[in-house]
């Protein structure tokens, strides 16, 4: 199903339709012509496409033969359809049936071809290219509405009754100059109906759209239909682009109706699933990264806000607070002022941007916005629970008043964190464990490993102390395990083992690297069990360094060797960044953006 993309006003319906019917939802950049045939740019390679359901307007479907400035279509699609190399549902050119000029001739066409009058009279229409029709339009302009034959997004219908005398004269001159470009119709005012606006019933103009389905020898009128309500009570323009709201129209039955739904047949066990477009894989990968990035920032923010609520923080708490503020700034690339010198009571003012400023890369609001964009582009693949969480979650947050207490800021961040953790669980448990799921989880593990390196380097390598060690353990939810084991060995050794080496700890570095190897092995064009590709070699190096690690290298009689630990973690961060770049270069490489070929007139001799 070819869609214009997430910015189209009907994208939600297109995604729902594709998900319901089990179709690939693709954009123009997902498709390419090769050898005269249409192909999908899938992870496994180019896959031939036999049938394309078109939801892109005709003129935007092929920049080679139609609009050269279109980025929504596929160059060569018209030629492929012309040669019958691809079947286009909603064929190119079918929009001619929406030409308003045809309305002027429908009664005559019905009499000529059917020998009968129209059962449902059409609105009186006049094509200005017909001299008789033009004469009528010029004389009765106040009673008519003028429409352009070829619709434009930036141009609305013109109601003659709303024009001044001077404007009517200008329109008459325009119609005489270009009569074939315009159609006039009798102005029919939409009737008002009750609409629920601002928690109360108000009158709004309403349009009703009914539907028929073609059978063997007749059409069947479907019960109900769609209604479109105007955004304001006094408007005459009712369209989605102008802010109108679409609603279902139901017909009340005299008795309960049986509910049936025709769903695609379930594929037999072992049948291959649909190909995953490269664009979808990339969006899932980055959705995982932005999800973990926002979670990490909120976890640190929560730990930072806890001591701020204490009116008389102890020295131990103050040390931990200073370390957390510094770490939060490094993790989000948004240093909230002079971290260690700022007074605790001024910090909430500095943290507001993290939650509300979507223009600052690294902040919570920015990552949530990016997460929403990535998931919206693949919403037809997401489970219902995840879609509900994305719709109902408390983001983007409402900007808070800096004068409000810290507790309110803490509550806001806690609610966001809970919503994100619920979303992570829904995606992990309910999303089909196919190639797309592996990309999502791979992105999460890479991001979590990198974030852990940033946090540990900031908390432990700058100036190791019990408050900083405590903060690192709290960030990874490892405090319960630490309390159970700290009586047996030195605290620093136990903490580093839990944070780095213990695969039983879900947020440890070892757990991330183990999961990364698993997800890489499940990707197409990856390692074959004997030879390793570049991504596999990077993951193996990171894993081998960790497995060969001797913690006594960092923890000796002189205490923690911060320089050695920093060097080890820095190398790990580098390997994870290189791994992410390698995955992108292997699986997400997309062709360069097309450049329109425009006609440049030659200079006159």
| Euclidean distance between CA atoms 399 and 357, whole angstroms | 9
> How far is residue 130's CA from residue 317's CA, in Å, rounded to a whole number?
85
Whether 307 and 402 share a structural domain: yes
Q: Give how far Cα 500 sits from Cα of 438, 495, 545, 546, 591, Å.
A: 23, 8, 11, 8, 39
- Whether residue 376 is contained in a domain is answered as yes
**Burial class, 69, CB count within 10 angstroms (exposed 0-12 / middle 13-18 / buried 19+):** exposed
Q: Is residue 437 part of a domain?
A: no
Q: How much is the pLDDT for 360? A: 78
pLDDT in the model for residue 347: 66
Answer whether residue 151 is part of any domain: yes
CATH number, domain with residue 16: 3.40.50.11290
Which residues are bridge partners to 214 per DSSP? Answer: 219
User: If you average pLDDT over residues 160-171, what whole number do you get?
Assistant: 92
DSSP of 517-538: HHHHHTSTT---SSS--HHHHH
pLDDT at 259: 74
**What's residue 512's pLDDT?**
97
Own/partner pairs for 15-22, CB < 8 Å, 24+ apart? 15/379, 15/380, 16/380, 18/380, 19/379, 19/380, 19/381, 20/263, 21/264, 22/264, 22/274
**Quick one: pLDDT at residue 344?**
56
Residue that terminates a domain, selected from 134, 157, 186: 186
For the chain, percent of residues with pLDDT exceeding 70: 84
Provide the pLDDT for residue 580: 95
Lowest-confidence pick of 390-394, 445-449, 498-502: 390-394
Q: How many CB atoms lie within 10 A of CB 76?
A: 20
Query: Tens digits of per-residue pLDDT, 524-578?
Result: 875 545 556 889 999 999 999 999 998 888 876 667 888 899 999 999 999 999 9
- The answer to whether the CB of 425 falls within 8 A of the CB of 295 is no
Mean pLDDT of all residues in 490-504: 89
Least confidently predicted of 66-75, 136-145, 500-509, 530-539: 530-539
- Computed over every residue of the chain, the mean pLDDT equals 85
User: What b/e sequence results for 277-287 when a residue is b if at least 16 CB atoms lie within 10 Å of its CB, and e otherwise?
Assistant: bbbbbbbbbbb
Residue 259 lies in a domain: no
Pairing mode of beta strands 200-209, 125-127 = unpaired
| CA diameter of the chain | 104
Q: Are residues 113 and 196 in the same domain?
A: no
| Stated length of the chain | 605
> What per-residue confidence (pLDDT) applies to 429?
92
pLDDT of residue 599: 56
Give the global pTM.
0.80
The owner of tokens 């490993």 is: 449
Q: Is the omega angle on the peptide bond into residue 396 within 30 degrees of 0, that is, cis?
A: yes
CA–CA separation, 48 and 136 (whole Å)? 53
Residue 15 has pLDDT above 70, yes or no: yes
Mean pLDDT on 247-251:
90
- Please, what is the Cα angle at 19 between 18 and 23, to 5 degrees? 45
Instruction: Read off the pLDDT of each residue in 143-169 and give the average, rounded to a whole number.
Output: 86
DSSP single-letter state for residue 498: I
> Which CATH number covers residue 144?
3.30.1490.270
d(Cα 412, Cα 475) in Å, to the nearest integer?
18
> Looking at beta carbons, which pairs linking 246-254 to residues 24 or more positions away fall under 8 Å?
248/224, 249/208, 249/224, 249/225, 250/224, 251/223, 251/224
The predicted pLDDT at position 359 comes to 80
- Residues 507-516 have a mean pLDDT of 96
**DSSP character string of 435-495:** HHHHHHHHHHHHHHHHHHHHHHHHHHTTT--HHHHHHHHHHTT-HHHHHHHTTTS-HHHHH
- Lowest pLDDT segment from 7-21, 135-149, 461-475: 461-475
Shared-domain flag, residues 92 and 152: no
- Same domain for 549 and 484: yes
The SS3 of residue 9 is coil
Tell which wins on pLDDT, 234 or 378. Answer: 378
- Residue-level pLDDT at 337: 43
Examine the domain organization and report whether 280 and 427 are in the same domain.
yes
Q: Is residue 373 part of a domain?
A: yes
Backbone phi and psi for residue 6, each to the nearest 5 degrees, phi listed first:
-60, -20
Same domain flag for 174 and 238? no
Using CA atoms, how far apart are residues 577 and 454, in angstroms rounded to an integer? 12
Residue 269 confidence (pLDDT): 47
Q: Which residue has the tokens 């960092």?
A: 554
Q: How far apart are CA 297 and CA 319, in angstroms?
A: 20
Same domain, 464 and 389: no
Residues 299, 361 within the same domain = yes
State the residue range of the domain holding 222.
Answer: 192-247
DSSP 296: H
Would residue 600 count as lying in a domain?
A: no
Q: Is the pLDDT of residue 300 over 60?
A: yes
Q: Which residues contact 169 (CB under 8 A, 6 or more apart)?
A: none
CB within 8 A of 380, min separation 6: which ones?
15, 16, 18, 19, 25
Separation CA 601–CA 441 (nearest Å): 53
Q: Quick one: DSSP state of residue 140?
A: S
Q: Is residue 396 domain-resident?
A: yes
d(CA 427, CA 92): 38
Task: Spell out the long-range contacts of 201-205 with Cβ–Cβ below 8 A and sequence spacing 24 or more.
Answer: 202/233, 203/233, 204/229, 204/230, 204/231, 204/232, 204/233, 205/229, 205/230, 205/233, 205/235, 205/236, 205/238
Say whether both 501 and 522 belong to one domain.
yes
Q: What are phi and psi of 308, to 5 degrees?
A: -65, -25
Examine the domain organization and report whether 91 and 104 are in the same domain.
Answer: no
Domain co-membership, 325 together with 365: yes
Distance CA 406, CA 345 (A): 9
Q: Among 168, 186, 204, identify where a domain stops.
A: 186
Give me the number of domains the chain comprises.
Answer: 5
Please give the residue that has the higher pLDDT: either 316 or 136. 136
Q: What number of other Cβ atoms are within 10 A of residue 269's Cβ?
A: 5
- In percent, the amount of the chain with pLDDT more than 90 equals 47
Q: What is the pLDDT of residues 198-228, one digit of tens each?
A: 889 999 999 998 999 988 888 899 889 999 9
pLDDT of residue 244: 82
Nearest to 31 by CA among 62, 69, 58: 62
List of residues 6+ apart from 497 with CB closer than 8 A: 551
Residue 260, in any domain of the structure: no
Residue 270: pLDDT band (50, 70, 90) is: very low
Residue finishing a domain among 38, 72, 96: 96
Q: Do 424 and 347 reside in the same domain of the chain?
A: yes
Nearest to 92 by CA among 62, 49, 69: 62
pLDDT tens string 317-376: 677 778 888 888 888 876 544 444 555 555 666 677 777 777 878 888 899 999 999 999
């Amino acid at each position: 199903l070819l869609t214009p993309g997430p910015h189209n006003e009907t994208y939600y319906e297109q995604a729902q339709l594709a998900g319901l019917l089990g179709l690939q939802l693709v954009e123009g950049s997902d498709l390419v012509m090769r050898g005269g045939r249409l192909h999908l740019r899938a992870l496994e390679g180019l896959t031939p496409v036999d049938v394309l359901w078109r939801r892109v307007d005709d003129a935007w479907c092929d920049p080679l033969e139609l609009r050269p400035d279109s980025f929504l279509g596929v160059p060569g699609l018209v030629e492929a359809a012309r040669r019958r190399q691809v079947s286009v549902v909603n064929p190119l050119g079918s929009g001619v049936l929406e030409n308003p000029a045809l309305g002027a001739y429908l009664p005559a066409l019905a009499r000529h071809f059917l020998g009968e009058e129209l059962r449902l009279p059409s609105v009186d229409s006049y094509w200005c290219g017909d001299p008789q029709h033009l004469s009528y339009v010029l004389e009765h302009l106040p009673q008519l509405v003028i429409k352009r034959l070829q619709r434009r997004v930036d141009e609305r219908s013109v109601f003659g009754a709303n024009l001044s005398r001077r404007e009517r004269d200008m329109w008459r001159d325009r119609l005489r100059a270009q009569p074939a470009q315009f159609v006039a119709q009798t102005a029919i005012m939409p009737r008002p109906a009750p609409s629920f606006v601002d928690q109360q019933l108000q009158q709004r103009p309403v349009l009703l759209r009914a539907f028929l389905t073609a059978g063997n020898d007749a059409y069947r009128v479907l019960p109900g239909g769609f209604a479109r309500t105007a955004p304001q009570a006094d408007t005459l323009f009712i369209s989605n682009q102008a802010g109108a709201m679409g609603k279902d129209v139901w017909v009340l039955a005299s008795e309960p109706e049986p509910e049936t739904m025709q769903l695609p047949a379930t594929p037999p066990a072992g049948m291959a699933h649909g190909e995953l477009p490269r664009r979808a894989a990339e969006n899932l990968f980055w959705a995982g990264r932005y999800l973990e990035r926002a979670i990490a920032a909120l976890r640190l923010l929560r730990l930072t806000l806890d001591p701020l609520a204490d009116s008389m923080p102890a020295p131990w708490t103050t040390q931990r607070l200073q370390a957390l503020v510094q770490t939060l700034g490094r993790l989000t690339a948004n240093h909230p002022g002079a971290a260690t010198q700022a007074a605790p009571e001024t910090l909430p003012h500095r943290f507001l941007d993290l939650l509300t400023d979507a223009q600052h890369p690294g902040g919570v609001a920015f990552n949530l916005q990016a997460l929403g964009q990535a998931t919206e582009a693949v919403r037809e693949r997401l489970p219902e629970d995840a879609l509900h969480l994305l719709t109902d979650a408390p983001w983007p947050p409402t900007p808070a008043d800096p004068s409000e207490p810290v507790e309110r800021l803490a509550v806001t961040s806690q609610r966001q964190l809970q919503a994100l953790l619920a979303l992570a669980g829904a995606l992990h448990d309910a999303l089909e464990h196919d190639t797309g799921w592996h990309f999502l989880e791979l992105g999460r593990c890479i991001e979590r490993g990198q974030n852990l390196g940033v946090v540990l380097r900031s908390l432990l390598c700058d100036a190791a102390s019990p408050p900083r060690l405590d903060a690192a353990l709290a960030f990874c939810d490892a405090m319960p395990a630490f309390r159970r084991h700290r009586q047996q060995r030195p605290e620093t050794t136990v903490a580093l083992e839990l944070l780095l080496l213990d695969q039983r700890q879900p947020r440890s570095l070892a757990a991330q690297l183990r999961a990364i190897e698993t997800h890489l092995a499940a990707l197409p064009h990856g390692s074959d069990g004997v030879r390793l590709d570049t991504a596999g070699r990077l993951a193996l190096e990171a894993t081998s360094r960790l497995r060969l690690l001797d913690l006594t290298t960092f923890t000796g009689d002189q205490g923690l060797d911060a320089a050695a630990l920093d060097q080890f973690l820095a190398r790990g961060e580098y390997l994870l960044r290189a791994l992410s770049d390698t995955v992108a270069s292997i699986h997400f490489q997309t062709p360069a953006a097309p450049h329109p070929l425009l006609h440049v007139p030659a200079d006159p001799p």
